[in-house]
Amino acid sequence: MSSALEVRDLKASIGDLEILTGLDLVVPFGEVHAIMGPNGSGKSTLSHVLMGNPVYEASGSATIGGVEIMDMTVDERARAGLFEAFQYPTEVPGVTLDDLTEEMAISTPSDDGFEQRTVAASERLGMERFRERAVNVNLSGGEKKRSEMYLLGVANPKVAILDEIDSGLDIDAVREVADMVESLRGPGLGIVVITHYSRILRYMSADRIHVMVGGRVVRSGGPEIAEELEADGYTAYQVAAAG
Amino acid sequence: MTDTPTLGSTDAVWMASRRSAAVERLDDLSMPSEREEIWRYLDLDFDPAFRTAPLTAGSAGSTDAVLEMWHGNTVSVVDGFVVTEGVPTIAEASDEIALVNDDHMFATAFTAYAPGAALLTGDHLGKPLLVDVQNTSDATTFPGVHIAVPRGTEATVIVRLRSTTDAPATVVPTVTADVSDNARLTLTIIQDWNYNTRSLGRAVIELGRDATLVLAEIGLGAKIGRLHLDVNFVGNGSTAKIYGAYFGEDDQTLDYRYFMNHIGMHTRSDMFLKGAVEDEALSVFTGMIRIEETGQKTEAFQTNRNLILSSGASAQSVPNLEILANDVMCGHGSTVGPLDEDQRYYLMSRGLTPESADRLQVRGFFEEVVQQIPDEAIAAWIRERINGKYVAAQEEGRV
Ligand SMILES: Nc1ncnc2c1ncn2[C@@H]1O[C@H](COP(=O)(O)OP(=O)(O)O)[C@@H](O)[C@H]1O
Ligand SMILES: [Mg+2]
C-alpha cells in the first residue's frame, strides 16, 4: 500500500533564495510524524510548497496516497486530501466559518459527509460560538489553532500538516492541542506536526521525528531525538549544515 | 389615488417665488464644466433635457422583489410626483424648507421643475418606511424626499431609486433630512437605476443637538451615479455613521462627494465606504471633513476601500481635511487594489476553487456595510444583487 505522504527531492526557492534544498520524507497512513527545526530552516515553506502556494518556485515529487500532487493547483491538492493547518491563519473579514464550511462542501460534491463532520467537529471542539464569526478575525492565538483543527475535522484529509500548531499557546492549551492531534490519529490519515520546540511532544506520541536544517531533513529517528534536542538544541546540526 | 397633480399648482407662497426665481436663473446657467473640481470625473457631454420634465406622473411600474418582501409602510414617488395618498410635499408646506441652495444647473433645475419632495414627518415615521422612487420613461425627472424627524424620536427610512424601463433618462434625486434634537434617523438609499440613467443625486442632512444619523448608500445602477452629500453637524453632540457599498461594471461612473461639516461641539462623523469596480467602470470617492472654529472636541474619520477587479476599471479615492478648530481628532484611510492573494490562497487551501474563493472574498468585503441595512430581507437581497453582478463578471470572463 502507498504511504499517506511521500516527498522526494523537494526543492523550493523565491528568486535567488533557495529555501528547500532537496527534501525527502515518507509518512505512512496511521502515523504521526514530527518535523523539528530551528527558525528559518524552511518548515513553513515545506507546508506551503506542498499546498501549492504560487509564491514559491518548486521542483521534485510529492504524492498523497500514491497520487502525484506537484502539478495540481492549491484547491486540487486540498481535494486530493491534503490539509495545511497554517502557522498564521489568514483573516477573511466578513466571511463566517459557516460560510466557509458550506463552500467546502459545495466544492467537493462527491463527498456527502461534510454536514455530519461539521456537526461532529463543532461539538468535539466546542466551536458553536465561533461558527457565526468571521474566519480568524479577532481570535486569540489559541482560538485560531482551534479553528484550524475544526476545519481539519470538517475536511477529513488523508494528510494533515500542522504548522506550529503549538506556538504562542500556554501549557494548558498545548496539552489540549496535543489531545486533539492524538484523537485524529487513524488508519486513513498521516499527520505531520511541525514544531520548533519539543514541548508538545511531551503530551503526544510521535512515531518518528525528523530534524530539518537548511531546507532538508538531516536526521530521522524515534522519540529519543526530541529529548536530545531538548538537552542540546540545534547547534550541532546547524554547524554541520554550515560546515 | 388623488387627482393627478400638475407642476406648481399647489405651491405655497414661498415655494412659488423660489420656483419662479429658479426658472429665471436657469436661463443663465449652463452645463457645469468638468474643469471644476466638484464635477471633475463626470462625462457631462449630454443634453439634460430639463424641459422634458413630465407634468404628470407616468403609470407606476409593477411591484417587485423589494416591495414584496417589505412589511412596513410604503410611499411611492413616480416620475418625481408623490402618488401616495395622504403624503404632502414640501412645496405645499406653509414654512419654507430649503436645505439645498447650490447655484448650479442641476440644483436650480430641481427647484424650478420638481413637483415637490415627499414630506415625511412624524405621522409617517412611526414604523419603518420604504420610499419607492420610480422613473417610468426617458423624461428628465426630479424626485425628492424630505424627512423631518421630530425631537427625541427615531425613524427608519429606505429610499429605493429604480427604473421601470431601460429608457435613458436624466434624474436629479434629492434627499434632505432635518433630524431634530435627540432624534435618530436610520436612512438607507438604494441606487438601482437602469444602466442608461444619469443620476445627479443630492442629499443634505442637518443634525440637531445629540441627534444621530446612520446613513448607508448602496450603489448598484446608473450610467452616471453621483451622490453629493452634505451632513451638517449643527447641534452639539450630534453624530453620524455614513456607510457606502458600490459595485460598478460596464461603463458606469459612481461618484461620491461626501462633505461632513462640523459646526457644533463634541460632534462625531465616521465615513466608511467600500466599493468594487470591474469592466470599464470608474468609482470616485471624495471625502471632506470640515471642522469649523466652533467645532471643538470633534472626532471625524473617513475610510474608503476599493477593489479593482478588471484592468480597465479604476477608482479614485481622495480624502480631504479642512480643520479650523484646534482640539479635534481625525483619521483617514484609503486603499485601491486587487483581491487579496493571501485570502485566495487560504480559501483555496480549504478546497475552494479560485472562483468560489474570490466570490467569498468579495462577499466578505461588502459584508461590513451590508449588515448595516436595517432590514434583514433587504440586506439579503442586496447581498444577492452584488453577488450576482460578480458571478456574471466571472462567467463572462471580465474578472
Ligand atoms: N514568502 C517569502 N518571501 C521571502 N522569504 C521567505 C518567504 N517564505 C520563506 N522565506 C524565507 O525562507 C526561509 C525559511 O522560512 P520558513 O519556511 O518560514 O522557516 P520556518 O518555518 O522553519 O521558521 C527564511 O529565511 C525566510 O525568510
Ligand atoms: Mg514557520
Whether B160 contacts B192, CB under 8 Å: yes
Rounded Cα–Cα distance for residues A1 and A25 (Å): 16
- HEC string for chain A: CCCCEEEEEEEEEECCEEEEEEEEEEECCCCEEEEECCCCCCHHHHHHHHHCCCCCEEEEEEEECCEECCCCCHHHHHHCCEEEECCCCCCEEEEEHHHHHHHHHHHCCCCCCHHHHHHHHHHHHCCHHHCCCEECCCCCHHHHHHHHHHHHHHHCCCEEEEECCCCCCCHHHHHHHHHHHHHHCCCCCEEEEEECCCHHHHCCCCCEEEEEECCEEEEEECCHHHHHHHHHCCHHHHHHHHC
* Minimum distance, in Å, between the CA of residue A101 and any CA atom of chain B: 9
Place of cell 435627540: B182
Query: Nearest-CA neighbor of B87 among B127, B57, B117?
Result: B117
- Helix/strand/coil percentages in chain B, nearest 5: 20, 40, 40
Edge-to-edge strands of the sheet including B268-277?
Answer: B81-82, B73-78, B129-135, B154-163, B184-192, B212-219, B239-248, B268-277, B299-308, B329-337
Rounded Cα–Cα distance for residues A146 and A128 (Å): 12
Question: Where does A5-88+157-242 sit in CATH, by number?
Answer: 3.40.50.300
Query: Nearest-CA neighbor of A213 among A35, A89, A85?
Result: A35
Quote the ipTM score: 0.96
* Minimum distance, in Å, between the CA of residue A168 and any CA atom of chain B: 21
B358 CB-near residues (< 8 Å, 6+ apart): B339, B344, B390, B394, B399
Mutant choice from B342, B343, B346, B373 vs A, greatest count of A C-beta within 10 A: B346
Q: Which pLDDT score, from 0 to 100, does residue B5 have? A: 53
Question: Which chain B residues are Cβ-neighbours of A91 within 8 angstroms?
Answer: 343
Q: Which pLDDT score, from 0 to 100, does residue B62 have? A: 75
Mutant choice from B303, B305, B350, B358 vs A, greatest count of A C-beta within 10 A: B350
Rounded Cα–Cα distance for residues B159 and B324 (Å): 34
**pLDDT higher than 80, residue A242:** no
B333 CB-near residues (< 8 Å, 6+ apart): B302, B303, B304, B305, B319
Q: Which pLDDT score, from 0 to 100, does residue A238 have? A: 84
**B363–A100: do the CB atoms touch at under 8 Å?**
no
A195 CB-near residues (< 8 Å, 6+ apart): A34, A35, A36, A164, A165, A166, A167, A201
Query: Nearest-CA neighbor of B231 among B199, B267, B192, B265?
Result: B267
* A7 part of contact set with chain B, CB < 8 Å: no
* A109 part of contact set with chain B, CB < 8 Å: no
What is the tens place of the pLDDT at every residue in B286-339?
999 999 999 999 999 999 999 999 999 999 999 999 999 999 999 999 999 999
A179-193 in b/e burial notation, b at 16+ Cβ within 10 A?
ebbeebeeeebbbbb
**What is the residue with the minimal CA distance to atom 6 of ligand 1?**
A14
**B364–A92: do the CB atoms touch at under 8 Å?**
yes
Nearest ligand to the CA of A53 is: 1
What is the tens place of the pLDDT at every residue in B17-54?
999 999 999 999 999 999 999 999 999 999 999 888 88
Give the A window 118-137 contacts with B, CB below 8 Å. 134
Question: Residue A88's CB: how many other CB atoms inside 10 A?
Answer: 15
* Minimum distance, in Å, between the CA of residue A169 and any CA atom of chain B: 22
Rounded Cα–Cα distance for residues A163 and A140 (Å): 17
Q: What are phi and psi of B215, to 5 degrees?
A: -115, 130
Place of cell 434634537: B181
Of B342, B360, B367, the CB nearest to A90: B342
Nearest ligand to the CA of A211 is: 1
Nearest ligand to the CA of A165 is: 2
Per-residue confidence of chain B (399 residues) as pLDDT tens digits? 445 556 888 999 999 999 999 999 999 999 999 999 999 999 999 999 988 888 888 888 778 888 889 988 999 999 999 999 999 999 999 999 999 999 999 999 999 999 999 999 998 999 999 999 999 999 999 999 999 999 999 999 999 999 999 999 999 999 999 999 999 999 999 999 999 999 999 999 999 999 999 999 999 999 999 999 999 999 999 999 999 999 999 999 999 999 999 999 999 999 999 999 999 999 999 999 999 999 999 999 999 999 999 999 999 999 999 999 999 999 999 999 999 999 999 999 999 999 999 999 999 999 999 999 999 999 999 999 999 999 999 999 999
Rounded Cα–Cα distance for residues B307 and B254 (Å): 14
Please state the domain extents for chain A. Answer: 5-88+157-242
Q: Which pLDDT score, from 0 to 100, does residue B4 have? A: 53
Q: What are phi and psi of A155, to 5 degrees?
A: -70, -30
Mean pLDDT over A117-129 rounds to 94
Of B350, B353, B354, the CB nearest to A155: B350
**B354–A90: do the CB atoms touch at under 8 Å?**
no
A228 CB-near residues (< 8 Å, 6+ apart): none
* Minimum distance, in Å, between the CA of residue B371 and any CA atom of chain A: 10
State which residue of chain B sits closest to A111, comparing Cα positions: B351
Grid coordinates belonging to A179: 489531545
Place of cell 459527509: A113
Place of cell 496516497: A65
- HEC string for B298-343: CEEEEEEEEEECCCCCEEEEEEEEEECCCCCEEEEEEEEECCCHHH
Rounded Cα–Cα distance for residues B176 and A46 (Å): 59
Of A74, A79, A103, the CB nearest to B345: A74
pTM: 0.94
* Minimum distance, in Å, between the CA of residue A241 and any CA atom of chain B: 32
Whether B341 contacts B347, CB under 8 Å: no
**What is the residue with the minimal CA distance to atom 12 of ligand 1?**
A19
Rounded Cα–Cα distance for residues A143 and A126 (Å): 11
CA of A224 to the centre of ligand 2 (A): 23
State which residue of chain A sits closest to B367, comparing Cα positions: A94
Grid coordinates belonging to A29: 497512513
Whether B220 contacts B249, CB under 8 Å: no
A18, A35, A45, A163: which to mutate for ligand 1, most atoms within 8 A of CB? A45
**A95–B351: do the CB atoms touch at under 8 Å?**
no
Please state the domain extents for chain B. Answer: 5-339
What is the tens place of the pLDDT at every residue in A184-239?
999 999 999 999 888 899 999 999 999 999 999 999 999 999 888 888 888 888 88
Q: Which pLDDT score, from 0 to 100, does residue B6 have? A: 64
Grid coordinates belonging to B41: 470625473
Nearest ligand to the CA of A14 is: 1
Query: Nearest-CA neighbor of A131 among A113, A116, A151, A112?
Result: A151
**A74–B364: do the CB atoms touch at under 8 Å?**
no
Q: Which residues line ligand 1 (CB under 6 A)?
A: A 14, 17, 19, 37, 39-45, 55
Report chain B's terminal Cα–Cα distance, integer Å: 47
